[in-house]
A and B are shown apart, each in its own frame.
Chain A
Amino acid sequence: MGESLALTLPEIILTVGAIALMMVAAYGGDRSARAITWIAIAVLIAAAVFVPGIRDAGGVAFDGLFVADSFAAFSKILVYIAAAIGLVAATGWFSRDGDYRAEYPVLILLSSVGMGMMVSAGDLLTLYVGLELQSLSAYVLASFQRTDNRSAEAGLKYFVLGALASGILLYGVSLLYGFTGSTLFGDIAVALGTDGVSAGELFGLVFVLAGIAFKVSAVPFHMWTPDVYEGAPTPVTAFFASAPKVAAIALLTRLAIEGMGPATFEWRQIVIFMALASTILGGVAAIGQPNIKRLLAYSSINNVGFILIGLAAANREGVAAILFYMAVYVVMTLGSFLVVLRMRDEADRPVETIASLSGLSRTRPGLAAAMAMFMFSLAGIPPLFGFWPKFLVFDAAVRADLTWLAAVGIATSAISAYYYLKIIKTMYFDEPAPAYARSHDVPQTVLIAAAALFVSPLGYLAIPLIQPLAANAASALF
């Protein structure tokens, strides 16, 4: 028991931290919001430091319900970093509008607990509990700006559709349990492997995949994404686009490889369909978007498509590529959203239209250069670092004899290149629009600069650091 608790140390730190901060918030009120935020960031860092499975071998806790291996460790650290950056982004943004509340960091911490459980789930029930904990916090976060109709609408939409997805997932879980006799990933894999995949198991598998596809917003379960991303307060959107995506994709990967390994042939078709549909729709639908947050929503759908190509490969390289992709994706996405957070007109109101970016290269050259790097990087144009994870994903697909998938997938990336170029065109080629209000938020500026450096060609120097970690994490699943 003690050993199991030691393996869940990051979750314990986060939970205790969240509860303690909730008490502080209850007594200190919103005046303490700033302090609570920084303490919450410290808690996230502490949790990241104590993640098992990086320096040691990790292990399995609670008889297989909770797996703390190197795969979980990699994903968790990524999730915690993304959540911490989301918090840094939030402080500056909300405080300007005066409705920052002390619950915000607490909700992020609780959501992080849920995400940690998701990536460590070794059992369908752990999976469900983690997913729900993360989602419930997310529903509240989406509607955090209570005075804003759009935010309330986003929260409600997210909740209704999220609840539906959870229902679908639970139905799949019950089918899988009924037909395989277990909820443990390992046992399910054994049951699927012994006598082929029965019709009932197949149904369960499809429902579970559909439920998770909703969480990773893969087409055709993506409909909520643009609306929620647009409606939610921008720092929340930045959070949604990064940490929960990482957690959900890690969860999907572990479930597919560990729990459904013998049924690879069956789920691969589904994943391939979702991958191509996501890259194509994420590309085409974004073209006409005038709102930068909606555009980034489609961009995240598009990127999920590429990540799913790595999953379809279903080999060690594919999983390593997924992890690497997520590490770079988180930086690119958070970087772009940090720039979006800077988009405020003279009166300090947030603006979200792409047109307002016009001529940014002349009014704010540094900001424009950073955004241009994120966009080229998201488009996967070398020598920017965003090229590398795409390269790894396609490499994995080719190694898995899915050359055709790599060819089609890579061709669709030209569609998305078009709208990333559109933003660069707006910033660099068009005549300047009224300049944005200046911001003096130093932590944000530092983060934008750091993210831009990471996606610049200098990022390649990080490959020797990240690649072994990703490879090691991937080998934990095989």
Chain B
Amino acid sequence: MTGILSLMLAVPVVAAILCLFVSANGARWIALAATLADLVLGIILWLNYDIGGPQWQFVEYQPLFSRFAWALGIDGIALMLTLLSVFLMPICILASWSSIEKRVQEYMAAFLVMETMMIGVFMAQDIFLFYIFFEAGLIPMFLIIGIWGGANRIYASYKFFLYTLVGSLLMLVAMLWMVNYAGTTEIPKLLTTDFPRQAQFWLWLAFFASFAVKMPMWPVHTWLPDAHVQAPTAGSVILAGVLLKLGGYGFVRFSLPMFPDASAQLFWLVMGLSLVAIVYTSLVALVQKDMKKLIAYSSVAHMAFVTIGIFAFNRQGIEGALVVMLSHGLVSGALFLCVGVIYDRLHTREIERYGGLSNNMPAYAVLFLLFTMASVGLPGTGGFVGEFLSLIGAYKAHSLVGAIATTGIILGAAYMLYLYWRVAYGTSRNADAAAMPDLNGRELVSLGTIALVVLWMGIYPESFLAPMRKDVDVLMARIERAAPASDSRLAKSAHAPAAAAAHVTAAEGAHH
């Protein structure tokens, strides 16, 4: 199996180059074939992943570029996020099939390059290789928003690029310092390096600058609504589905295990920002008139559950955060597709223009409802598992955090149901909206596939949690000593977390 990761990275790049030399339709088929090939490779990866085996699998190491190496490898967390990316990509290509009409070849090429950069981030085992993939993803996304975006696309593309660039530049200096201190660029070795406490503080902040922007956390989230609104549908899907996860992945992979003391020291900074995000952006989402903007703000709120879960310093929180990342990737991607479906028909994202869609688009209404519920966190969907676990984690960390974070669920239900009510229920306000045809085959396949996975994740989350469990063990073993003081009485029984988590997931499985 050695070499499969490189193969997964190579397939989209080769296809991207091919795309530039064929007709528009040829480019569509090449892109679809390449993304499906990567999906198949991803599934092969999953099937061959040895749960409970060594922490890093499918390892490749090739010292190529003098100071760092072509080092690839995945653990369970990276495996799941890689799968999420390769799963969403063919759907993105399908979503752009007819809605992108100009410069199709370049569009498909940009998307394929994007795919390589995204999965490269999850696979990189060399810190500088990670940085290169992390940063390089900006270029194709910048072009996707700027060329194929909406009316205000140029502003949005600049904002996206510069925000994320400034964030990650400081991270590079921190990485240089770390490599200089530890004498290695390999992530697995850096993960076990104990950096001095004083340095951890600054390194943590530098990484935080990058990941918080990418995540995005309040108050540096403002690029996201702009980018989402202006990006073409598939761009929004990939932005919400995968790019936002890079921040969460960064926290789990770098900030927490590499700087546990600083993470504990700055516990309240993260929690404060996350809680503000949950309450504030949920309220902002409530008053949006633009569908994409509403979902964009809801993403900020959901991502705050991820940061709360990760920095809760306990197993439930971290596992919950990981599941939220996966389920939000699917659900918000699907919601943007839902918006895209009706946008393609009416060319407006204004909520007011729609209404009563359940009459003329029943299949659409059903799927949209499912994703709305998943976003709210209804039991039986992946959203519930993730948010429930991270809230348990939050309560264990500090009851105040848990209490405020839970309001996010209520607010989430409010803005999502309000959105669904205005779009799908009632009588249609406009004749053209009432005349829209239901989903076509291509759209049905895309949304239907995501719906199945969302339900799978809600009913039997163990499939997704199992590969990651051992990595969370490793992570917990590394950070436990640094955990900040908690007001929870449970904290004294150290063996409880593992049992509780197993119990929770088993209980969900039994219930639904």
Residue positions of A touching B, CB distance < 8 A: 361-362, 376, 381-383, 387, 391-392, 394-395, 398-399, 403, 406-407, 410-411, 413-414, 417-418, 421, 424-425, 428-429, 460, 463-464, 467
21 contacts between A and B (CB under 8 A): A362-B103, A381-B138, A383-B132, A383-B133, A387-B132, A387-B135, A395-B67, A398-B177, A403-B173, A403-B177, A407-B173, A410-B172, A411-B166, A411-B169, A414-B165, A417-B165, A421-B158, A425-B146, A460-B64, A460-B65, A464-B66
Is B170 interfacial (CB 8 A cutoff)? Answer: yes
For residue B153, CB closer than 8 A to chain A, the reply is: yes
Report Cα–Cα, A406/B173, bound state, in Å: 7
In the complex formed, the residue of A with least CB distance to B163 is A414
Residues of B with C-beta under 8 A to A467: 66
* CB proximity of B396 to chain A, nearest CB, Å: 36
Q: Does B143 contact A (CB under 8 A)?
A: yes
Query: Could you tell me the distance between the alpha carbons of A425 and B155 in the complex, rounded to whole angstroms?
Result: 10
How many Å lie between the Cα of A428 and that of B162 in the bound state? 17
State the CA gap A120–B222 with chains docked (Å): 53
Check A410 against B153 for contact (C-beta < 8 Å): no
Complex-state Cα separation, A444 to B169, whole angstroms: 35
Complex contacts, B170 vs chain A, CB 8 Å? 407, 410-411
**Residue B339 interfacial (CB < 8 Å):** no
B332 to chain A, nearest CB (A): 26
Give complex CA distance A202, B343 in Å: 69
Say if the beta carbon of B425 comes within 8 Å of chain A: no
CB–CB A382/B132 < 8 A: yes
With both beta carbons as reference points, the residue of chain A lying nearest to B181 in the complex is identified as A398
Task: State whether B131 touches A382 (Cβ < 8 A).
Answer: yes
Q: How far is the CA of A168 from the CA of B132 in the complex (A)?
A: 44
Are the CB atoms of B169 and A413 closer together than 8 Å?
yes
- Contact residues in A for B154 (Cβ distance below 8 Å): 425, 429
Top 3 A-B pairs, shortest CB-CB distance? A382-B132, A398-B176, A383-B136
In the complex, given contacts A387-B132, A392-B67, A418-B158, what are 12 additional A-B residue pairs having Cβ atoms less than 8 angstroms apart? A381-B135, A387-B135, A395-B180, A403-B177, A407-B206, A410-B169, A414-B162, A414-B165, A417-B162, A429-B147, A429-B154, A429-B157
A425 contact set on B, CB distance < 8 A = 146, 154, 157-158
- Check A394 against B176 for contact (C-beta < 8 Å): yes
Give bound CA distance, A335 to B169, whole Å.
Answer: 26
Task: Evaluate contact between A414 and B180: CB separation under 8 angstroms.
Answer: no
Chain B nearest Cβ from A405, distance in angstroms:
10
Instruction: Name the residue in B106, B154, B172 with the highest tally of chain A Cβ atoms < 10 Å from its Cβ.
Output: B172
- With contacts A395-B176, A399-B180 taken as known, whether A376 is within 8 angstroms of B146 at the C-beta atoms is no
Residue of A nearest to B128 (CB): A391
Minimum CB–CB distance for B213 against chain A, Å? 12
B142 within 8 A of A: yes
Q: Which residues of A contact B177 (CB under 8 A)?
A: 398, 403
Tell me which residues across on chain B come within 8 A of A429, comparing CB atoms: 146-147, 153-154, 157
Contacting residues, chain B, for A382 (C-beta < 8 A): 131-132, 135-136
> Which of chain B's residues have a CB closer than 8 A to the CB of A403?
173, 176-177
Contact of B139 with A by CB under 8 A: yes
Give chain B nearest CB distance to A338 CB in angstroms.
22
Q: List, in ascending order, chain A residues with CB within 8 A of B157's CB.
A: 425, 429
Q: Does B420 contact A (CB under 8 A)?
A: no
Bound: A417/B132 CA distance, A? 16
Q: Are B169 and A398 in contact (CB under 8 A)?
A: no
Complex alpha-carbon distance, A399 and B180, angstroms: 7
A463-B176 contact in complex given A414-B162, A417-B162, A428-B146, C-beta closer than 8 Å: no
Complexed CA–CA distance, A429 and B136 (Å): 19
- Bound: A429/B144 CA distance, A: 10
Least Cβ–Cβ distance between A381 and chain B, in angstroms: 6
Pick the contact of A391 from B103, B106, B166, B172 — CB < 8 Å?
B172
Contacts of B176 in A (CB 8 A): 391, 394-395, 398, 403, 406
When distances are taken between beta carbons in the complex, the residues of chain A under 8 Å from B173 are: 394, 398, 403, 406-407, 410
Chain B positions within 8 Å of A406 at CB level: 173, 176
Contact mask B47-85 → A, CB, 8 Å, 1/0? 000000000000000001111000000000000000000
CB of B9, distance to nearest CB on chain A (Å)? 12
Shortest Cβ distance from B175 into chain A, in angstroms? 9
Rounded to whole angstroms, the CA-CA distance of A428 and B206 in the bound complex is 32
Question: Does any Cβ of A come within 8 Å of B280's Cβ?
Answer: no
A414 engages B166 (CB within 8 Å)? yes
A413 neighbours in B (Cβ, 8 Å): 169
Partner of B180, one of A381, A398, A411, A428: A398
How far is A418 from B147 in the complex, measured between Cα atoms in Å? 17
> What is the bound-complex CA distance between A464 and B177, given in angstroms?
23
A406 to B206, CA, bound (A): 13
Shortest B261–chain A CB gap in Å is 19
Instruction: Say whether A421 contacts B142, CB under 8 Å.
Output: yes
Contact across chains for A381 and B66 when beta carbons are under 8 A apart: no
User: CA A376 – CA B165 in complex, angstroms?
Assistant: 12
Task: Judge whether B161 is part of the interface by a CB distance below 8 angstroms.
Answer: yes
Bound-state Cα–Cα, A399 to B132, Å: 21
Q: Which B416-456 residues have a C-beta within 8 angstroms of A?
A: none
Bitwise, B169-196 to A at CB < 8 A (1) or not (0) is 1101100110010000000000000000
A contact residues around B147 at 8 Å (CB): 428-429
**Chain A residues closer than 8 Å to B172, beta-carbon distance:** 391, 394, 410
Contact (A381, B136) CB under 8 Å given A407-B170, A428-B143, A429-B146: yes
Shortest beta-carbon distance from B162 to chain A in Å: 6
Indicate whether A414 sits within 8 Å of B139 (C-beta atoms), given known contacts A383-B132, A425-B146. no
- A398 nearest in chain B by CB position: B176
List residues of chain A with CB within 8 A of the CB of B64: 460
Please give, as numbers and ranges, the residues of chain A lying within 8 Å of B139 by CB-CB distance. 376, 381
- For B136, what are the chain A residues with a Cβ–Cβ distance below 8 Å? 381-383
Which residues of chain B have C-beta atoms less than 8 A from A383's C-beta? 132-133, 136
Q: For residue A424, which residues in chain B have a CB less than 8 angstroms away from its CB?
A: 142
Measured between C-beta atoms, what is the minimum distance from A417 to chain B in Å?
6
| Cβ < 8 Å to A, chain B residues 198-235 | 206
**Bound state CA distance, A395 and B139, in angstroms?**
24
CB-defined interface of B270-313 with A at 8 Å, one 1/0 digit per residue?
00000000000000000000000000000000000000000000
Distance between Cα atoms of A411 and B154 in the complex (Å)? 23
B-chain residues with CB within 8 Å of residue A414 when the two chains form the complex: 162, 165-166, 169
- A320, chain B: closest CB distance, angstroms: 11
B250, chain A: closest CB distance, angstroms: 16
Q: How far is the CA of A460 from the CA of B126 in the complex (A)?
A: 16
Q: Which residues of A contact B206 (CB under 8 A)?
A: 407
Residue of B nearest to A403 (CB): B177
| CB of B188, distance to nearest CB on chain A (Å) | 21
A471: nearest chain-B partner, CB-CB: B66
- Max chain A C-beta neighbours (<10 A), residue from B64, B136, B142, B176: B176
- CB neighbours of B133 from chain A (8 A): 383
A318 to B387, CA, bound (A): 49
Select the residue from A362, A392, A425 with max chain B CB neighbours within 10 A: A425
Expressed in whole angstroms, the Cα–Cα distance for A391 and B175 within the complex equals 11
In the bound assembly, the distance between CA atoms of A463 and B128 in angstroms comes to 15
Contacts of A387 in B (CB 8 A): 132, 135
* Whole-angstrom CA separation of A225 from B162 in the bound complex: 27
| Chain B residue contacts of A392, Cβ below 8 A | 67
CB closest chain-B residue, reference A468:
B66
How far, in Å, is B132 (CB) from chain A's closest CB? Answer: 4
Q: Which partner residue on chain A sits nearest B158 by CB separation?
A: A421
CA distance A403 to B173 in the complex (A): 7
List A contacts of B106 (CB < 8 A): 361
CB distance from B151 to the nearest CB of A (A): 12
User: Closest A-chain residue to B167, C-beta based?
Assistant: A414
Is B161's CB under 8 angstroms from A421's CB? yes
- CA–CA, A424 to B145, complex, Å? 13
How far, in angstroms, from A255 to B397 measured CA to CA in the complex? 59
How long is the Cα–Cα vector from A421 to B67 in the complex, in angstroms? 29
Q: How far is the CA of A362 from the CA of B102 in the complex (A)?
A: 11
- Interface flags for B324-338 (1: CB within 8 Å of A; 0: not) read 000000000000000
Question: How near does chain B come to A199, taking the closest CB pair, in angstroms?
Answer: 36
